[in-house]
Chains A and B, each alone.
Chain A
Amino acid sequence: MSTVRCLCMAALSLAIVGSLMIPAPARQDDDEAEMRELLARRSLEENCLICHSMDLIAGQRLTPTQWKAEVVKMIGWGSPLPKEAADPVTEYLARHYSDREPAPAPTLATLNDVDSYEVPRGQHAPVEAGADLKRGEKLYATTCANCHGPKALGGDLGPALVHKAILDRPTDYNRILFEGLRRMPGNKQTLKPEDSVAILAWLRSLSYPEPLAQGGK
């Protein structure tokens, strides 16, 4: 192999390697940034949306300092956001919901159309006389209480269910119970339709505030 040819091959090899190598760090940075973005979004959805909807965040436009204060406040209010996720989530919020950008125009809806579990549907019916509340309570204790709290007043991973409008939306209630929602697993394999009825009846028999003597903090 001539020296010239060797040099040519070497140059070609360098060019090929170079073409592979030079963009690599940039792509790696992009990948890492994308991963950080995905993880931050997931932390936000899994922790913040336990208590409120995404539009409560997305309608606001704040400075990084204000977003940081909001995250600190929410952790103080019991958000289970892990400590290591606080900074990435704060950065995510500041990047996507910056006070430098206008908020998108909100949607319009009538009371009948609005896509929210917060709207009870139809008349609230009293708990059926024959409902097996004891069975409902027992099933709740084994299936739901770990996240939603022993008295359905909420826990770190599941919101309060007592008095919630979802109890008057049986279709939505059943869909979430059987199919799950975000971190909540579906219970298709473990619960039968009659179990769902019993749990719903027990939840609907609860009262809030109970005992009435308790107030806020």
Chain B
Amino acid sequence: MERSRDSAAISRRAWIGLGLLGAAGAGLSERWTGQEASADGTSDEGQLIVRSRRPLNLESTSSAFDHRITPADSLFVRSHFGAPAVDPGTWEVEIVGLVRRPLRLRLDELGRMERASKTAVIQCAGNGRGLFRPRVPGTPWERGAVGQAEWSGVRLADLLDRAGVPEGAAHLHFYGSDAPPSPKISAFVRSIPIDRARDPGTLLALGMNGEPLPLLHGGPARVVVPGWAGNNWTKWVRRIVVSREEAPSFYMQTAYRMPRTPVPADAPAGSVAMDPVTWMNVKSLIASPVQGGSVASGPVEVRGVAWTGRGHVTKVEVKVNDGSWKEANLRDDPEPGAWRRWAYRLESSRPGRHVVAARATDSEGEVQPETPPWNKSGYLWNGYDTVAFEVK
């Protein structure tokens, strides 16, 4: 049974009633509507926020950010047209187009190729869309359209070598197996440049977290493009076309593009140079304490994860109430495309309400901003994360 978050909403009203929200310094905590603590102050491990049932859009709660590897049943789910009912026994992946030897490979044949694995963050391009103001249309993801998994499968570079790619090949088009509800609606077809496909971390994944890739996460076969947003990680891949050009599809040429440089909300459409959404930007999230939760007095560990697109995260800073930014400890070795866990020990915390904020910096010198530039599709929100909690 699904359960309502009404109890959480009541808690939120109680917070407001106590004057715990909306005071100076707490404004950021009101950016997102989630109230995650249940009555006993614990988090929602294994629970997902239901954004829509069709298409199935499920958002992770904070507990998913409290791991190096997000458990499969806590990882957000997103698709345009729904997971296909498929028979893995008959699944084939074709590599055709600008290739010397067109291939058609069953899953067992793919499984016999050299196995590669990569730990990488997957984040929906629209994660945080619900936090932009003015509001924008689309699924109002707040924080949890992101997670990290251990992906395993075949390097796309190996598939390209096996098929033989002549001069002039520049893009790989991926055809998903999720049928649109009507032929009038564009199919989900996306492409990535061949240089990105040849990166040793770019995979046709067949496995996730040591198990066969779950259907809801793109199984039997999906693209993994570490460092790039999830719109590039086509699920349910059955056909790869090598081409000189980008895919001419709606989902490549119209959707998933954002202004090259920030523009005001009232800029006329068509007047702005738009690029495909590719590299993610630097971002951190707080896993604990949870929003609206309460902790015992004494030292409080504030912890979470941080990641970026190009390079890796070099610093995470934490600010408590109106204090100054303090550096957190980073765990996990830096690895392109992967998140690093971080922790900050708040030694003394007086009873009452506290607001904690986190911001990350990456090896390219990018710093997570308080508020990112607005864009009309609500892509790549990376404003500071903030959480309000109570010390008993």
A interface with B by C-beta (< 8 Å) = 50-53, 55-56, 59-63, 66, 69-70, 77-78, 99, 102-111, 113-120, 124-126, 149, 153-156, 159-160, 162-168, 204, 208-209, 212, 214-217
What is the bound-complex CA distance between A149 and B177, given in angstroms? 18
What are some 9 contacts across the A-B interface (CB < 8 A)?
Answer: A52-B54, A60-B137, A105-B5, A105-B9, A108-B5, A113-B2, A126-B90, A163-B86, A212-B239
- Of residues A69, A110, A113, which shows the largest number of chain B Cβ atoms within 10 Å of its Cβ? A110
B33 on the A face (CB < 8 A):
yes
One digit per residue, 1 when the CB lies within 8 angstroms of any chain A CB and 0 when it does not, for chain B 300-343 equals 00000000000000000000000000000000000000000000
* CB contact between A108 and one of B48, B137, B189, B247 (< 8 Å): that residue: B48
Question: Given that A124-B85, A167-B85 are contacting pairs, would A109 and B48 also be in contact in the complex, using a CB cutoff of 8 Å?
Answer: yes
Q: A55: which B residues are within 8 A, CB to CB?
A: 50-53
Partner of B87, one of A52, A126, A214: A126
B interface residues with partner A (beta carbon < 8 Å): 1-6, 8-9, 33-35, 44, 46-59, 61, 73, 77, 79, 81-90, 94, 134-135, 137-140, 173, 175, 177-189, 215-216, 238-239, 241, 247-251
Q: Is the CB of B4 within 8 A of A105?
A: yes
A159 near B181: Cβ-Cβ < 8 Å: yes
Task: Tell me which residues across on chain A come within 8 A of B3, comparing CB atoms.
Answer: 107-109
Residues of A within 8 A of B173 (CB): 215
A62 contacts B83, C-beta separation under 8 Å: no
Q: Is the CB of A51 within 8 A of B185?
A: yes
Q: Report chain A residues within 8 Å CB of B175.
A: 209, 212, 215
A78 touches B182 (CB 8 A): yes
Q: For residue B249, which residues in chain A have a CB less than 8 angstroms away from its CB?
A: 215-217
CB distance from A126 to the nearest CB of B (A): 5
**Given contact pairs A106-B50, A108-B50, A78 touches B239 in the complex (Cβ within 8 A):** no
B residues in contact with A166, CB < 8 Å: 85
How far does the alpha carbon of A212 sit from the alpha carbon of B189 in the complex, in Å?
12
Whether B239 pairs with A111 at a CB distance below 8 angstroms is no
Q: When A59-B140, A78-B184, A209-B187 are in contact, do A52 and B83 touch as well, CB less than 8 Å?
A: no
Q: Report chain B residues within 8 Å CB of A168.
A: 85
